[in-house]
């Protein structure tokens, strides 16, 4: 489910595991998030405890695509199993991951204010 | 790359969940044809891992290994114009070995340290990092089997 939080922040709350049956809807949802009008993007994985390699590829590609378009994609609320998967594929080396949506919003608020003050 | 034969694993008596283990002792091999077969194989791996005593997180990771190994095998097999993939489970009360047999030739199974920013190419790396031992075996001229082993860690799991 996509939700607009502010003028600049949009959140995708993904509500299921990402496996071979559900990877295509996930791809479409991420495309919609990344290609939308907002610059600050949050992927909330609170309800996801399993992501296959195709899903990981979609997340990585989306993060890079966002960056190419002066946007930023961050991830929040990851479960322990997903944390282990992310650690294996070294996602923390090129994506910010927050414990909660609130932390991500606070991060974006600080960054947005800093940009405005320049 | 080390190539060794799969050691004979006996179906020993299991201290816990013996009724459940009997169910799996009869499900030693499964042919994979459809996506539903893949999901079923993942389900079997998860239940088997639970019966052995793996923690929930490891059960999920073992399901992931199952999915990745089978999907890779299906993709690789279909490149040759055929698609024959089988999965086999061998286990004791502390060890689970998942084996996926496919048509094809040997390929590299080395761990990589570089970061992958792309869409594809993480399946084998996930398997190599989740499982304790991974090796390839060639039993027939154009068939290979990927064996993946994980042991129950007493300190962590019990």
How does pLDDT run across B127-153, given as a tens digit for each residue? 999 999 999 998 777 889 999 999 998
How does pLDDT run across A60-117, given as a tens digit for each residue? 999 999 999 999 999 999 999 999 999 999 999 999 999 999 999 999 988 765 555 4
Q: Is A23 on the interface with B (CB under 8 A)?
A: no
Q: Is A111 on the interface with B (CB under 8 A)?
A: no
B2 has pLDDT over 60: no
For the segment B62-82, the average pLDDT, to the nearest whole number, is 84
Q: Average pLDDT of chain A?
A: 92
Q: Which two tokens stand for residue B54?
A: 């793996």
- For testing contact with chain A, the best of B60, B72, B111, B115 (most A CBs within 10 A): B60
Using only C-alpha atoms, what is the Rg of chain A?
14
B25 has pLDDT over 60: no
> Would you call B69 helix, strand, or coil by DSSP?
helix
> Would you call B25 helix, strand, or coil by DSSP?
helix
Cβ(B144)–Cβ(B105) below 8 Å? yes
Q: How far is C-alpha A85 from the geometric centre of its chain's CA atoms? A: 15
Q: How are beta strands B133-140 and B143-151 bridged, if at all?
A: antiparallel
B39 has pLDDT over 90: yes
The verdict on a CB contact (< 8 Å) between A56 and B122 is yes
Q: At what angle do helices B56-79 and B35-52 cross, to 10 degrees?
A: 150
- CB-based contacts of B156, cutoff 8 Å, min separation 6: B55
On whether ipTM exceeds 0.90, the answer is: no
Residue A4: beta bridge partners? Answer: A10
Please give the angle made by the CA atoms of B103, B104 and B108, to the nearest 5 degrees: 135
The verdict on a CB contact (< 8 Å) between A52 and B60 is no
Measured between CA atoms, the residue of chain A closest to residue B111 is A88
Q: What is the pLDDT at residue A118?
A: 45
d(CA A16, CA A49): 8
B10 has pLDDT over 90: no
Question: Which residues on A lie below 8 Å from B57 (Cβ)?
Answer: 80-81, 84
- For testing contact with chain B, the best of A52, A62, A83, A94 (most B CBs within 10 A): A52
Question: Which residues on B lie below 8 Å from A58 (Cβ)?
Answer: 119
d(CA B121, CA B123): 6
Of B56, B117, B129, the CB nearest to A88: B129
Least confident piece of the model among A41-50, B51-60, B73-82, B89-98: B73-82
For residues B4 and A51, the model is more confident at A51
């Amino acid at each position: 489910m996509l939700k607009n939080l502010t003028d600049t922040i949009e959140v995708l709350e993904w509500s299921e595991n990402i496996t071979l049956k559900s990877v295509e809807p996930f791809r479409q949802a991420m495309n919609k998030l990344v290609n939308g009008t907002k610059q600050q993007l949050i992927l909330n994985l609170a309800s996801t405890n399993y992501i296959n390699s195709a899903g990981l590829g979609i997340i990585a590609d989306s993060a890079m695509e966002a960056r190419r378009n002066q946007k930023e994609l961050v991830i929040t609320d990851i479960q322990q199993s997903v944390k282990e998967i992310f650690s294996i594929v070294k996602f923390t080396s090129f994506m910010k991951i927050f414990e909660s949506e609130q932390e991500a919003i606070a991060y974006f608020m600080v960054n947005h204010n800093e940009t405005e003050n320049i | 790359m080390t190539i060794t034969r799969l050691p004979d694993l006996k179906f020993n008596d299991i201290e816990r969940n013996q009724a459940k283990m009997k169910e799996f002792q009869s499900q030693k091999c499964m042919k994979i044809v459809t996506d539903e077969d893949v999901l079923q194989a993942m389900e079997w791996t998860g239940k088997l891992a639970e019966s052995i005593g793996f923690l929930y997180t490891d059960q999920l990771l073992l399901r992931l290994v199952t999915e990745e190994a089978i999907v890779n095998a299906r993709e690789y097999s279909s490149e040759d114009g055929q698609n024959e993939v089988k999965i086999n489970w061998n286990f004791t009360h502390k060890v689970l070995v998942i084996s996926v047999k496919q048509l094809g030739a040997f390929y590299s199974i080395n761990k990589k340290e570089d970061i992958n920013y792309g869409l594809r190419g993480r399946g084998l790396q996930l398997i190599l990092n989740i499982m304790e031992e991974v090796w390839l075996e060639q039993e027939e001229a154009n068939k290979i089997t990927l064996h993946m082993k994980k042991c129950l860690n007493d300190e962590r799991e019990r």
